[in-house]
């Protein structure tokens, strides 16, 4: 710039003249420039702050460390605990997707560096196919994740339903690999064993536990068998009985063990049971059969003659909440008092034939349970309507063999209704004759043959057989060979396809073929019917072998549910009414 005194040229930035020394006046800064400068300065300051803070939220490691610190401090209430675990789960999953492909030592080291050791534990289980399970136990809960290594990247999937992971196996099937996890409930023992089954898909996992695993009840332990596929569970029999509400949930000193084996067959688990050798097994058997008398035969080795007689006289669907107290004991014999909501019983058990068995029983105090209806009819809408009358039923029965295309009406009958009443009935059908026996069993002596076209009178039912009067003689005929078109009748059907008959332990009893007649006991459960065979065996048959077959109970097809009525003599001895909503248990 030029000096106003001496006209000397100076630089633009000069504050005074280099020739005469005159000081130049400062030029004013434009207002806009000041605002711009201030704005730029603020932006720079915010950027510096963000550079220090944002990584805590955006960087997976720092974000996980921040939330882990809050977890270690503990939540203030239940709502905060739930929210905190959701945040921790999300943060841990994101961090594992970053470090999931690293070697075990490095992965565990990074997690332990983040987590306070007093509040966290880290476990890693390696599996074939580049799979690993990472479990992080916190003060709030355990979090398990399946990490899949694919093309150098890690895919992470939460594993739910296990409070504590114990072991894992990968089972290769033609349809794809299956991941089986064993674990147990948290807290103090005794623990409940947990089992989870996942199908491994190309882009994820699918929980198949409900489809492939039988029900597990009770407290105990679970482990893989030597073949790495089957599972062995050692369970407390008392805890199982309490789960079934057979024994009261109170302090009880008596207990036994039951081994539930889960065998891997045809891409799913099949359950079988082995009772331990303890006196409590006999007590459990009688308590169970008092409520479910149709299981008496399955528990006969523990009931003995005395126990079976006790069940016969005091069976009730109200039986339960028992408590066992030991009264006296001697070598090979123990006396108990078994008290429940149907009464108190003095029971003696003794070791006989390798098992503890009931050898005597006496009623010390009989309860007053609510009497149950002798039978129950379930309509298609599952709305039962029961009517009891003292009028006798007029029945018509004929030998099985006639077919009908009418819609089936499903009957769920009590297994021990002693009297139904009746008059002479015409019999006819494909069978040329049926045997009249002294007992409701093929072991009963055949005292007469009833030919097609003859008349007889139905006067009762017993374990899948009709009690009848024929030519002055009273005996039994198998219900599966009789068409009896009354509401309280057994549901007798013709098998439509070949099927195995299995017991409650999934052990094959026999095979039924198309054309054979069986009696259905109750409604279908787990796609199987419980049936009574002519040889006296009770087992489970595939639902597909029964549905579509000819039934002795039929009704015209209607567009709306049909309400039907059961008419029967009152039952002096309480009998169990089976409904579609409460089928008999399929346990051991």
The residue assigned the tokens 């280099």 is 18
Please give the residue that has the higher pLDDT: either 495 or 383.
Answer: 495
Asked whether residue 448 falls in the same domain as residue 532, the answer is yes
Decide if 564 is inside a domain: no
| pLDDT tens digits, one per residue of 135-148 | 988 877 788 999 99
Q: How confident is the model at residue 503 (pLDDT cuts 50, 70, 90)?
A: confident
| pLDDT tens digits, one per residue of 102-125 | 998 899 889 888 887 767 888 899
List Cβ neighbours of 279 (8 Å cut-off, separation of 6 or more): 254, 256, 334, 336, 349, 356
d(CA 237, CA 400): 43
d(CA 186, CA 83): 20
List Cβ neighbours of 263 (8 Å cut-off, separation of 6 or more): 230, 269, 270, 271, 272
State which residues form the domain around 313.
288-366
Q: Is the pLDDT of residue 525 over 90?
A: no
d(CA 43, CA 22): 40
Asked whether residue 252 falls in the same domain as residue 340, the answer is no
Asked whether residue 388 falls in the same domain as residue 520, the answer is yes
CB 499 within 8 A of CB 545: yes
Q: What is the DSSP letter of 127?
A: E
Length of the chain: 588
Q: Average pLDDT in the 483-503 region?
A: 78
| pLDDT tens digits, one per residue of 221-245 | 999 999 999 999 999 999 999 999 9
Asked whether residue 382 falls in the same domain as residue 304, the answer is no
Asked whether residue 360 falls in the same domain as residue 423, the answer is no
CB 383 within 8 A of CB 561: yes
DSSP assignment of 173-186: -TT--EEEEEEE--
Residue 283: C-alpha distances to residues 254, 323, 326, 440 (Å): 10, 10, 11, 27
| Residue 141, number of CB atoms within 10 A of its CB | 15
d(CA 317, CA 295): 13
Decide if 575 is inside a domain: no
Range with lowest mean pLDDT among 43-52, 182-191, 519-528: 43-52
Decide if 568 is inside a domain: no
Beta strand pairing call for 554-555 and 465-470? unpaired
Decide if 120 is inside a domain: yes
d(CA 307, CA 403): 42
Which tokens hold the place of 339? 């008290």
Q: Average pLDDT in the 382-390 region?
A: 33
DSSP assignment of 553-582: -EE---SS-----B-----SS--PPPBTTB
Decide if 515 is inside a domain: yes
Q: Average pLDDT in the 316-343 region?
A: 91
Domain final position from 348, 366, 384? 366
Domain count for the chain: 4
Q: pTM of whole model > 0.85? A: no
pLDDT in the model for residue 418: 40
d(CA 578, CA 588): 19
Asked whether residue 349 falls in the same domain as residue 389, the answer is no
Decide if 566 is inside a domain: no
| pLDDT tens digits, one per residue of 527-556 | 888 888 877 788 888 888 886 544 444 333
Three-point CA angle 90, 95, 101, nearest 5°: 130
Q: How confident is the model at residue 96 (pLDDT cuts 50, 70, 90)?
A: very high
Asked whether residue 211 falls in the same domain as residue 321, the answer is no
Highest mean pLDDT among 287-296, 461-470, 529-538: 287-296
Asked whether residue 42 falls in the same domain as residue 93, the answer is no
d(CA 452, CA 400): 10
| pLDDT tens digits, one per residue of 267-279 | 999 999 998 889 9
Mean pLDDT of the chain, nearest integer = 76
Asked whether residue 102 falls in the same domain as residue 196, the answer is yes
CATH number, domain with residue 340: 3.10.450.50
Which tokens hold the place of 73? 């401090």
Q: Is the pLDDT of residue 576 over 50?
A: no
Highest mean pLDDT among 79-93, 277-291, 451-465: 277-291
Asked whether residue 154 falls in the same domain as residue 77, the answer is yes
d(CA 34, CA 354): 102
Asked whether residue 312 falls in the same domain as residue 401, the answer is no
d(CA 285, CA 298): 9
Asked whether residue 420 falls in the same domain as residue 484, the answer is yes
SS3 state of residue 538? strand
d(CA 277, CA 272): 17
């Amino acid at each position: 710039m030029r000096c106003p005194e001496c006209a000397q040229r100076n630089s633009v930035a000069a504050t005074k003249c280099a020739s005469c020394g005159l000081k130049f006046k400062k030029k004013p800064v434009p207002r806009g420039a000041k605002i711009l400068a201030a704005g730029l300065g603020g932006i720079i300051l915010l950027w510096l702050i963000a550079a220090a803070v944002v990584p805590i939220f955006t960087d997976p490691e720092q974000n996980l460390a921040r939330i882990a610190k809050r977890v270690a401090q503990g939540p203030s209430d239940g709502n905060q605990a739930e929210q905190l675990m959701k945040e921790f789960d999300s943060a841990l999953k994101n961090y594992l997707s970053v470090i999931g492909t690293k070697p075990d030592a490095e992965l565990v080291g990074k997690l332990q560096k983040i987590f306070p050791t007093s509040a966290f534990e880290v476990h890693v289980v390696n599996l074939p196919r580049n799979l690993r399970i990472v479990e992080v136990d916190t003060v709030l809960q355990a979090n398990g994740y399946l990490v899949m290594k694919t093309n150098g990247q890690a895919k992470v999937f939460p594993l739910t339903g296990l409070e504590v992971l114990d072991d894992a196996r990968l089972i290769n099937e033609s349809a794809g690999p299956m991941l089986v996890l064993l674990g147990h409930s948290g807290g103090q023992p005794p623990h409940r064993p947990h089992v989870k089954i996942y199908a491994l898909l190309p882009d994820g996992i699918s929980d198949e536990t409900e489809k492939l695993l039988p029900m597990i009840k009770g407290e105990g332990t679970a482990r893989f068998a030597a073949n790495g596929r089957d599972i062995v569970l050692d369970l407390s029999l008392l805890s199982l009985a309490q789960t079934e509400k057979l024994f009261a949930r109170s302090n009880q000193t008596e207990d036994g063990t039951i081994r539930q084996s889960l065998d891997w067959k045809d891409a799913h688990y099949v359950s079988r049971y082995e009772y331990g050798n303890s006196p409590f097994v006999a007590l459990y058997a009688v308590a169970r059969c008092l409520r479910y008398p149709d299981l008496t035969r399955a528990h006969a080795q523990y009931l003995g003659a005395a126990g079976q007689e006790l069940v016969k006289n005091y069976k009730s669907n109200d039986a339960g909440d028992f408590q066992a107290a030991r009264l006296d004991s001697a070598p090979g014999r123990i006396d108990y008092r078994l008290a429940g909501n149907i009464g108190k019983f003095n029971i003696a058990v003794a070791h006989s034939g390798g098992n503890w068995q009931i050898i005597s029983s006496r009623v010390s105090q009989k309860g007053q349970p609510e009497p149950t209806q002798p039978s129950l009819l379930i309509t298609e809408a599952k709305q039962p309507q029961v009517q009891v009358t003292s009028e006798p039923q007029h029945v018509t029965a004929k030998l099985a063999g006639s077919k009908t295309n009418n819609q089936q009406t499903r009957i769920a009958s009590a297994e021990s209704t002693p009297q139904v009443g009746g008059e002479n009935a015409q019999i006819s059908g494909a069978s040329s004759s049926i045997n009249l026996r002294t007992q409701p069993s093929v072991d009963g002596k055949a005292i007469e043959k009833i030919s097609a076209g003859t008349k007889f009178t139905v006067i009762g039912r017993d374990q899948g057989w009709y009690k009848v009067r024929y030519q002055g003689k009273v005996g039994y005929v198998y219900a599966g060979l009789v068409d009896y078109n009354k509401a309280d009748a057994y549901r007798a059907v013709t098998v439509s396809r070949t099927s195995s008959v299995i017991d409650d332990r999934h052990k094959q009893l026999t095979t039924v073929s198309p054309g054979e007649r069986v009696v259905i006991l109750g409604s279908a459960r787990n796609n199987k019917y419980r049936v009574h065979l002519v040889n006296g065996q009770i087992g489970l048959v595939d639902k597909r072998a029964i549905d579509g077959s000819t039934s002795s109970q039929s009704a015209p097809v209607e567009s709306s549910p049909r309400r039907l009525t059961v008419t029967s003599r009152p039952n002096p001895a309480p009998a169990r009414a089976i409904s579609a909503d409460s089928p008999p248990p399929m346990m051991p």
